[in-house]
Chain A
Amino acid sequence: MGNFSQLVYLVPLFPLIGFLINGLLWKRMPKNLGGIIGTLAILCSFAVSLGIFFEVKDPAFHGPVIVHLFDFIQSGKLIIPFAFQVDALSALFLLIITGVGFLIHVYSTSYMHHDEGMVKYFAYLNLFVFSMLLLVLGANYLIMFIGWEGVGLCSYLLIGFWFKNRDYTNAAKKAFVMNRIGDLGFLVGMLLILLTFGTLSYQDFFGQLHGSQTIVPTSTYNWIALCLFIGATGKSAQIPLYTWLPDAMAGPTPVSALIHAATMVTAGIYMIARSGALYSLAPMILHVVAIIGLATAILAATIAIKQYDIKKVLAYSTVSQLGFMFLALGVGAYTTAVFHVMTHAFFKALLFLGSGSVIHAMGGEQDIRKMGGLGKYMRITQATFLIGCLAISGIPGFSGFFSKDAILTDAFAHDPILYYLGIGAAMMTAFYMFRLYFLTFNGSFRGTEDQRHHLHESPYAMTIPLMILAVLSIVGGYVGIPEVLGGHNLFNTYLSNVVTNFGEHHLSESTEWILMTVSVVAAVIMIVVAYVVNKKPDFAENKGFAKLLENKWYVDEIYDAIIIRPMEGLSNLLDKFAEKKGIDGVVNGVGKTVRWGGDRLRLLQSGQVGFYIFIMVLGIVVLFTLSFFWIR
């Protein structure tokens, strides 16, 4: 095998160059050329990533390769290098990011073609890929943090891409601030690691974890793990910091596919899988992770059932699927979580790009109440979208089946209650995805006559990525066939050198068969229910519980009432009273006194020279007298 891992710096370098070219020359750059440059940059990265992947996959590859670029921060004994780490985990993420990223870039060249800001768009997109690559390549937490905040910035810039719309820029701001709340957790966790272990490098840190279990109290592990997890809830949209993600749909649809479904939002899963050695020492926090993940999976799924915006349904579905991944992490099945990251990247990117194709055909319309019967007009979009729906619902033969089944099995082994609740969320998933599918592609068209004339299949630049992703959404799961189906889980073997699962349980073969059958039957039933319910859709105003779901459990309103408004009130109070009346009042009072004193003293300065001379003589006499006695 070639020595690709030493060239790993090229992987983020290409998108950085693409960003710089498009970012600096955005005024003069022709739109098409900007798109080509941006897309080529990712293609080059993908090529290098492939080389790295095959090198790492080779059994002859031993341990992680650290590529040291330069010393980033150095102060006394504290040295934090700017270094990359190549191992099975980072190589896998490289492939997902650059591979899916490339397809989405290709798609964007067509989707964004009419937008005047196309060059700027590609500059941002390349900057995003660069940051995401830093995030997964860093050999220490600080480099991960650089990428972590970098992707947050790009997300902010792309959500608010159409900056003239105040709602969009509000959504961008909300995403950034909510991420920052999580980032503070990350920062504190990072500092705790630094304080306790004196290093941020993965190798040193995990090395010490194996050696020093007796010296460091468990509570320290718990605190570190909890702080990092807070960071993950922000980036990966988990309770309580998930509300920014649905709003993030304000950005262009390919951005939703790349950033808000396939890559950035999985950063939290990457972080915890990467820190698996730490979390295995903090079982209490693993319980928290599992509970938060499961709760998010269920909550988001209930909301998705009653949404009418095609992208909002997918957004809540993403939140819910991320919840599943955290459930897997929480039961110690880190590799399973990463497996679901991969399959989810394929089918969710597919679904989002498919929805983009639909929105494109509908002339910007996103309300599924005004769609229906689109299958006749756009066969490729319909077929690929269906594959995505089957994959996410966990129908056997599609990638989602393998990863979701693995999560549910691991959950059962950990605690059957987690499994039952998980099945509930999975059933809702099948229902709302097929509700979306039937309302969009089946039945008769419910939009305007103008829209009907406009309906068309999207150009090849958009449909080819759809087809490739559809193929991946099917075959992507076959790398992780469970042993009960006579397979050999290549995926777990591949990651086993880097990520060690915590407390693996083994279920009997018959139990696994039963669990699998139950989840498949449940999904199929829900698809049928979705078909029946939506055969003659009725969009009467929602009442009671349905209205509660349509309004997202009023969580945004609750946050507004208990956090945002009190915060504003406090700020105003501090400004008007503490600052202006309080502190400044006292100061001005002192000032007035001084002025008053000054006015009195001024009377002495009458301007009469005689008076001054008198005072001067008096002073000299006094000084003379004093010094006379002093010398004595």
Chain B
Amino acid sequence: MILLLLILIPLITGAMSFAVKGEGAKALALISSILTLAVSAYVSAANFSAPITYNHEWIPVLGTQFSLLADGMSSMLCLLTGIVVMVVMIAGVNKSVENPGAFYGFLLLSQAGLMGVFLASDALVFYMFWELALIPVYFLCSTWGGEKRIAVTFKFFIYTFVGSLMMLAGLIYLSTQSQGMSSYSWSDIVRAGSSLPPQTQQWVFWLMFIAFAIKMPIFPFHTWQPDTYEQSPTPVTIILSALMVKMGLYAVLRWLLPVVPAGVAYWSDTVVVLSVIGIVYASCIAIVQTDMKRLIAYSSIAHMGLMSAVAFSHSSVGMHGIMVQMFNHGITITGMWLMVSMVENRWGTRDMTKLGGMASVAPNMAIALVIISLASIALPLTNGFIGEFMLFNGLFSGTESNHVTVMVVAGLGVILGAVYTLNMIQKTAYGATAKMLITKDISVNEFVGVAIIIILIIFLGVYPKPLLDLTSGIAAMIVK
């Protein structure tokens, strides 16, 4: 029942929000997000003893039940969703948007969808929430986005829609393959998929994988991402990059690896190579970006590339590392976008050639930017390091051929990451002060949002045990 709350709170407040006129929507959204976070924290804490489940009759004719399950991985991602959405709402307090009722309504609906995706243990429920999470984003992007929003949303839509359809086809096919009546429950889908002949698994793999690969995104399915991040309003960019990309990775771990193991075994080398190419490719492109948002977008592709490579490396430490890194990447990149939106607010541009001098005029902002950037390049004693170390460990001890080469090429990302991230710090924080619209250091609500992020960065970097404990069982389970 408690799991249902995680979905219902944002769903109901989201629907209510459309009716609220003016600034009240912000307050409603903030309260809703705090409530959801409290529930997800409770779920995570309770999870240390045993997974929580919820079942309800839904459409028996189709063989689908409304069933939810929160194990370590799901509750970790729900907790992340709770934290990130709350930080978004806090940072939004002093920002004005047109038609706030609808804006925050869509954001909350999307949050409800995300929670559903991370909790669903029935394939049709999963698919339904997958779409529920995405559709509000189309509206948010196309209504509140930048100049090129229509074209960009169209591209985003095509990409994700094609993926969704293929995934739906795959899930329907799998449900028909189960013994006896058709069933969409996770365990039946796993049983049906893994007992398919290897040749069949090999093509079913692609039906599902394309959808997830687009979402993560894995090279070369990624080109929607920099454009969409660039054109979306910052709260939406945060939802997309901190949470929605995790949908893709989560789906790989939950709905792909165990479902078609023979297909995964057959294609994993290919995916690892694509992912590792993506790391170097995206890092190189990040180096020559001048727009802060595009730079961070490409850096995110590189980071996700490492995670997806490890996901197909069959290592339990690596899998554990993915869990940790999903959380940490979400926290860190949220902080990154908060900084970008502050920069845009003060200087009126994200173009790094027109920025500079933050350390002189807004030293608190500069300190926050440096700390968050260091987490992004995985400096030890920040949260980024724990995950990255475990990921490299996983990649290194992985089963795919040439794992040493793969690890070293992926390791180039460590060096290139330092190059573009320090470039960004140098161009925005150091040097002479560029012309500003408003000369103001960090404001109170911005401070609260950034402080939450920085405390998490340092705490989880020094003492990652809570996060490791929460996800330890599930990692061992996926890699049997």
Contacts and interface: CB of A to CB of B under 8 A. Distances in A.
A159 B357 CA distance: 17
A194 B315 CA distance: 14
Nearest to A227: B408
A150 B379 CA distance: 8
Given A74-B468, A160-B430, A587-B155, A195 B396 contact: yes
Contacts of B374: 153
Nearest to B394: A75
Interface stretch (A181-189, A294-302, A355-363): A181-189
A489 interface: no
A587 B465 contact: no
Interface in A32-83: 70-76, 78
A538 interface: no
A173 B423 contact: yes
Interface in B285-310: 285, 287-289
B284 A570 contact: yes
A574 to B, nearest CB: 5
B287 A571 contact: yes
A583 interface: yes
Interface string B379-409: 1110001100110110011000000000110
Given A76-B316, A188-B407, A146 B426 contact: no
Contacts of B359: 163
A180 B287 CA distance: 16
Given A173-B422, A184-B414, A191-B393, A75 B472 contact: yes
A409 interface: no
A511 interface: no
B386 A584 contact: no
Contact of B468 (A70, A73, A571): A73
Nearest to B287: A571
B58 interface: no
A568 B288 contact: yes
Nearest to B357: A164
Interface stretch (A257-265, A339-347, A465-473, A588-596): A588-596
A575 interface: yes
A452 B321 CA distance: 62
Given A188-B408, A571-B284, A584-B223, A164 B397 contact: no
Contacts of B397: 195
Nearest to A149: B380
A176 B418 contact: yes
Contacts of B463: 70
Contact of A163 (B220, B222, B316, B430): B430
Nearest to A587: B223
A9 to B, nearest CB: 14
A26 to B, nearest CB: 8
Contacts of B468: 73-75
B285 A142 contact: no
Interface residues of B, number: 55
A169 B285 contact: no
Per DSSP, are chain A's interface residues mostly helix, strand or loop, or mixed?
A: helix
A532 interface: no
B360 interface: yes
B415 interface: yes
Interface string B409-424: 0011011001100110
B320 A191 contact: no
A181 B415 contact: yes
A153 B380 CA distance: 10
Contacts of A560: none
A557 interface: no
Interface string B450-480: 0000000000000111001000100110000
Interface in A459-501: none
Contacts of B415: 177, 180-181, 184
A70 B469 CA distance: 14
Interface in B252-293: 281, 284-285, 287-289
B146 interface: no
Contact of A183 (B285, B386, B414, B431): B414
A114 interface: no
A74 B475 CA distance: 12
Contacts of B419: 177
B347 interface: no
Interface in A189-218: 191-192, 194-195
Given A146-B380, A149-B379, A76 B288 contact: no
Contact of B320 (A75, A588, A591): A75
Contacts of A590: 158
B317 interface: yes
B390 A575 contact: no
Contact of B317 (A76, A153, A160, A192): A76
Interface of A: 70-76, 78, 142, 145-146, 149-150, 153, 156, 160, 163-164, 166, 169-170, 173, 176-177, 180-181, 183-184, 187-188, 191-192, 194-195, 567-568, 570-572, 574-575, 578-579, 583-584, 587-588, 590-591, 594-595
29 contacts: A70-B465, A75-B317, A76-B316, A76-B317, A76-B475, A76-B476, A146-B385, A149-B379, A163-B430, A164-B360, A166-B431, A169-B430, A173-B426, A176-B418, A177-B419, A180-B414, A184-B412, A184-B414, A184-B415, A187-B389, A188-B396, A191-B407, A195-B396, A195-B397, A574-B281, A574-B285, A575-B289, A579-B223, A591-B155
Given A74-B472, A76-B476, 12 more contacts: A70-B463, A170-B426, A184-B408, A191-B392, A195-B397, A571-B285, A575-B285, A575-B288, A579-B223, A583-B222, A591-B155, A594-B158
Interface of B: 154-155, 158-159, 220, 222-224, 281, 284-285, 287-289, 316-317, 320-321, 357, 359-360, 374, 379-381, 385-386, 389-390, 392-393, 396-397, 407-408, 411-412, 414-415, 418-419, 422-423, 426, 429-432, 463-465, 468, 472, 475-476
